[in-house]
Amino acid sequence: MGRILIIAEQFQGKLKASAGELLSAAQQIGGEVDGAVFGPGSGDAAKELAGYALGKVFAVDCGCEYSGDGFAAAVSDAISAGGYDFVILMQTSTGRDLGARLAARHDGAWINDVIGLEGSGADVVARKPLFAGKVISSVKFSTESLKVLSLRPRNFDALAASGASAPIEQLGGGTQCLASCTVIEPKEAGFIDLKDADIIVSGGRGIGNAEGYSVVRDFATEVGAAMGASRAIVDSGWIDHSYQVGQTGKVVNPQLYIAAGISGAIQHLAGMQTSKVIVAINNSESAPIFRIADYGIVGDMFEVLPELARQIKAARQ
Amino acid sequence: MKIVVIVKEVPDTEARITISDGKPDLNGVKMIINPYDEYAVEEAILQAEKLGGGSVTVVMIGSDSSRKNLTNCLALGAEDAILIKDDALSGADSIQLAKVLKAAIEPLGADFILAGRQGVDHDWGLTGIALAELLGWGHVGLITSLSIADGKFSASADGDSGKMSFAGSLPAVFTTDKGINEPRYASLKGIMAAKKKPVAEKTLADLGLDAATVGGANAKVRFVGAELPPEKQPGRIIEGETVEAKVAALVDALRNEAKVI
């Protein structure tokens, strides 16, 4: 059996629940599992992580919020000394970055954005979308060196902490960081990340102009949804790129995706077609989005969205 | 100031991809410069303009048919280009490609390297970061702004928890996210000038590399299959006399049929 290191995430000392997804993937591969968590606040988060039935937990603090080279350097000796075969992280802005750095540092291999695993040990086959999801590929490792996997969020059943306790080892003191992030400005209060969202509402050209996006924003606030956008309105400068869903934006996987005033270009569909339920609202009944929507309403999004928010809130009471 | 940009070709994002023989079939699919790399090219040219007297070299691993897209990068304002082509690279993994790029780029004495955050084909997002690691340089991924002064940089990136501000010293690698700039179109003057700009072709042997090490036959990651995602069945259009009635029927379906609210 192999040895596996899961690298969990934390923000301001609080462990992210995706730790349970990492453990789930580790158990699928099989082997002895240790954990690591990085950054300021890693001490507190490591105590939480220690509750996940792990052999031991590394708390790594290099004196900055994030550094690809620094974090990799800080944990590299422990990876070699511990004889780890696998490192598993989340496919997030920092997880994808650190995973790539670690794979290269150990002259190993990297499979990212994993949505499923079959088999176990070194023969494990990972399912990974290509072309933003237009194709689902099966990928294998062919190496004795370090194998690094990053998991697309919300694709593995998150295991709960078992309450067991693992020893914690501190790492990172004295690490030289070549490129370091010292400040993270938290998003506005109430902001829901597209990747974490159960409900997403996205606006397209149907909003008419930049001001029209307020109908999407209002819906999101009322219902507690994350906000998305089509490439068309990002390219028109109506909304920031961080909201874009699709092939050159974010790939999302919510329970409910509401596409309002979006025609449904193939690069947009690639980013949201794995949503559990898709609702399309468009005033043109020939819009291609209706071909992949579970439910469609032909109508004016400026009338439908506020009414939908009102009725969803009423239904929840 | 010497700036190197890494670019690659990918299928047009509007293209529908089919599968044949267990692999994505790209026959007849139009190839474009990776959209994220266009931001890298634009950022390199902007930085060269800002820094005054900077020169930009574009490096691509590709084939003979890549020349057109590569020439377009020159038309935008890059000085020269290197086209690495070798049949042995077919199937090579991203870390192998980073080793090839290192061999090509190291002699150029670059102050910094720009690359797109990921190719929108296989979506690895690994090559630029691996190159930084192999060179022993720092890197910042997913940058949405960059400023360079006195051998130091500051950059910001859209992190999942918020906007991240980075700092460090050159040399370094930066991978660009959408939103960092607005890529320009080539001018007629640029297009004419590009015809005279040098494109150096290199094979693995030219770079002093062994195909047995960096070639696809030695890849540590291998594709063993590919399929199209299950086709989403069209659902139903919700009818109703009024907006209220349609929405009521929708909410009922979401609550009792789909069970998502």
Contact B253 A107 (CB under 8 A): no
A-chain CB neighbours of B260 within 8 Å are: 198-199, 255-256, 276-277
Smallest CA–CA distance, residue B196 to chain A, in Å, is 33
Closest residue, chain B, to A315 (C-alpha): B251
A-chain CB neighbours of B134 within 8 Å are: 104
Q: What is the average pLDDT across A227-240?
A: 96
Q: How many CB pairs under 8 A join A and B?
A: 269
pLDDT tens digits for range A202-220: 999 999 999 999 999 999 9
Structure tokens at A120: 């176990």
Closest residue, chain A, to B214 (C-alpha): A107
Q: Above 80 in pLDDT, residue A190?
A: no
ipTM of predicted complex = 0.94
Closest residue, chain B, to A298 (C-alpha): B237
A-chain CB neighbours of B129 within 8 Å are: 68, 97, 100-101, 104
Q: Above 70 in pLDDT, residue B209?
A: yes
Do B211 and B241 fall into the same domain? no
Closest residue, chain A, to B160 (C-alpha): A93
Q: Write out the residue range of the structural domain in which residue B260 sits.
A: 235-261
Q: Any residues with CB less than 8 A from the CB of A281 and at least 6 apart, and which?
A: A258, A259, A260, A261, A296, A297, A299, A301, A304, A305
Structure tokens at B169: 């010293």
Contact A179 B167 (CB under 8 A): yes
End-to-end alpha carbon distance in chain A: 50
Q: What values do phi and psi take at A297, rounded to 5? A: -125, 120
Superfamily of domain A2-171: HUPs (3.40.50.620)
Best of B8, B13, B173 to substitute, by most chain A Cβ atoms within 10 angstroms, is B13
pLDDT reported for residue B52: 87
Q: Above 70 in pLDDT, residue A1?
A: no
Q: What values do phi and psi take at A89, rounded to 5? A: -130, 180
A-chain CB neighbours of B24 within 8 Å are: 130-131, 135, 137
> What is the Cα–Cα distance from A212 to B30, expressed in whole angstroms?
35
Contact B261 A256 (CB under 8 A): yes
> What is the Cα–Cα distance from A16 to A75, expressed in whole angstroms?
20
| Residue B211 maps to a domain | yes
- How many domains is chain B built from? 2
Nearest to A277 among B130, B234, B260 (CB): B260
Do B187 and B252 fall into the same domain? no
Helix (H) / strand (E) containing A261: none
Best of A75, A89, A96 to substitute, by most chain B Cβ atoms within 10 angstroms, is A96
Structure tokens at A141: 């490792």
pLDDT reported for residue B160: 86
Do B161 and B50 fall into the same domain? yes
| Residue B99 maps to a domain | yes
Smallest CA–CA distance, residue A310 to chain B, in Å, is 10
B-chain CB neighbours of A263 within 8 Å are: none
pLDDT reported for residue B2: 97
Contact A138 B159 (CB under 8 A): no
Do B158 and B65 fall into the same domain? yes
CATH no., domain A194-316:
3.40.50.1220
Task: For the sheet with A109-114, list strands across it.
Answer: A109-114, A147-151, A86-90, A2-8, A31-38, A57-60, A168-171
pLDDT tens digits for range A237-272: 999 999 999 999 999 999 999 999 999 999 999 999
Question: Which ranges of chain A does DSSP label H, i.e. alpha helix?
Answer: 19-29, 42-49, 68-82, 95-105, 214-223, 231-235, 266-272, 301-316
Structure tokens at A72: 């990799």
Do B7 and B117 fall into the same domain? yes
Q: Are A156 and A38 in contact (CB under 8 A)?
A: no
| Cβ neighbours of B24 (radius 10 Å) | 20
Closest residue, chain A, to B255 (C-alpha): A315
Contact A279 B261 (CB under 8 A): no
pLDDT band at A189 (very low <50, low <70, confident <90, very high): confident
Contact B120 A180 (CB under 8 A): no
Closest residue, chain B, to A72 (C-alpha): B133
Q: Above 70 in pLDDT, residue B171?
A: yes
Q: Residue B192, class by beta-carbon neighbours within 10 Å (0-12 exposed, 13-18 middle, 19+ buried)?
A: exposed
| Average of per-residue pLDDT values in chain B | 96
Do B155 and B255 fall into the same domain? no
pLDDT band at A21 (very low <50, low <70, confident <90, very high): very high
Q: Above 80 in pLDDT, residue A188?
A: no
Do B212 and B244 fall into the same domain? no
Q: Any residues with CB less than 8 A from the CB of B157 and at least 6 apart, and which?
A: A93, A181, B140, B141, B142, B143, B144, B163, B164, B166, B177
CA separation (Å) from A89 to A148, B36, B56? 8, 24, 35
Q: Are A132 and A70 in contact (CB under 8 A)?
A: no
**Of A147 and A187, which is predicted with more confidence?**
A147
Closest residue, chain A, to B223 (C-alpha): A139
Q: Mean pLDDT lowest for which of A181-190, A196-205, A276-285, B106-115? A: A181-190
Smallest CA–CA distance, residue A21 to chain B, in Å, is 17
> What is the Cα–Cα distance from A19 to A8, expressed in whole angstroms?
5
Portions of chain A given CATH number 3.40.50.1220: 194-316
Portions of chain A given CATH number 3.40.50.620: 2-171
> What is the Cα–Cα distance from A81 to A103, expressed in whole angstroms?
16
Cis? peptide before B35, omega within 30° of 0:
no
Q: Are B32 and B12 in contact (CB under 8 A)?
A: yes
Do B250 and B150 fall into the same domain? no
A-chain CB neighbours of B116 within 8 Å are: none
Q: How many CA atoms lie within 13 A of A160 on its CB side?
A: 2
* Domain containing residue B173: CATH number: 3.40.50.620
Do B36 and B139 fall into the same domain? yes
Q: What values do phi and psi take at A162, rounded to 5? A: -90, -10
pLDDT tens digits for range B38-56: 999 999 999 999 998 789 9
Nearest to B166 among A142, A180, A296 (CB): A180
Q: Any residues with CB less than 8 A from the CB of B210 and at least 6 apart, and which?
A: B204
Do B182 and B96 fall into the same domain? yes
Contact A104 B126 (CB under 8 A): yes
Tokens 């000038």 sit at which residue?
B193
Tokens 């291999």 sit at which residue?
A109
A-chain CB neighbours of B224 within 8 Å are: 125, 138-140
Structure tokens at A310: 């009102």
Structure tokens at B109: 């004495």
Q: Is A194 left (phi over 0), alpha (psi -120 to 50) or beta?
A: alpha
Give the DSSP per-residue string, A62-130. -SSSB-HHHHHHHHHHHHHHHT-SEEEEESSTTHHHHHHHHHHHTT-EEEEEE-EEES-GGG-EEEEEE
A-chain CB neighbours of B253 within 8 Å are: 295
Best of B220, B222, B233 to substitute, by most chain A Cβ atoms within 10 angstroms, is B220
| Residue B223 maps to a domain | no
Tokens 């080539």 sit at which residue?
B186
Tokens 């067991």 sit at which residue?
A164
Q: Are B167 and B153 in contact (CB under 8 A)?
A: yes
Structure tokens at B193: 């000038």
Nearest to A109 among B159, B178, B221 (CB): B221
**Of B14 and A85, which is predicted with more confidence?**
A85
The share of chain B scoring above pLDDT 70, in percent, equals: 100
Q: What is the average pLDDT across B125-152?
A: 98
> What is the Cα–Cα distance from B157 to B185, expressed in whole angstroms?
25
Contact A109 B220 (CB under 8 A): yes
Do B214 and B255 fall into the same domain? no
pLDDT reported for residue B207: 98
Nearest to A266 among B14, B161, B244 (CB): B14
Give the DSSP per-residue string, B34-63. -HHHHHHHHHHHHHHHHHSS-EEEEEEE--
> What is the Cα–Cα distance from A141 to A129, expressed in whole angstroms?
16
Closest residue, chain B, to A300 (C-alpha): B243
| Cβ neighbours of B50 (radius 10 Å) | 13
> What is the Cα–Cα distance from A187 to B163, expressed in whole angstroms?
8
pLDDT reported for residue B213: 94
Q: Are A121 and A31 in contact (CB under 8 A)?
A: yes
| Residue B228 maps to a domain | no
Q: Any residues with CB less than 8 A from the CB of A62 and at least 6 apart, and which?
A: A38, A70, A71, A74, A172, A175, A177, A180
The share of chain A scoring above pLDDT 70, in percent, equals: 100
Contact B243 A303 (CB under 8 A): yes
Smallest CA–CA distance, residue A32 to chain B, in Å, is 23
Contact B234 A316 (CB under 8 A): no
Q: Above 70 in pLDDT, residue B245?
A: yes
Smallest CA–CA distance, residue A179 to chain B, in Å, is 5
Nearest to B160 among A93, A100, A104 (CB): A93
Do B241 and B167 fall into the same domain? no
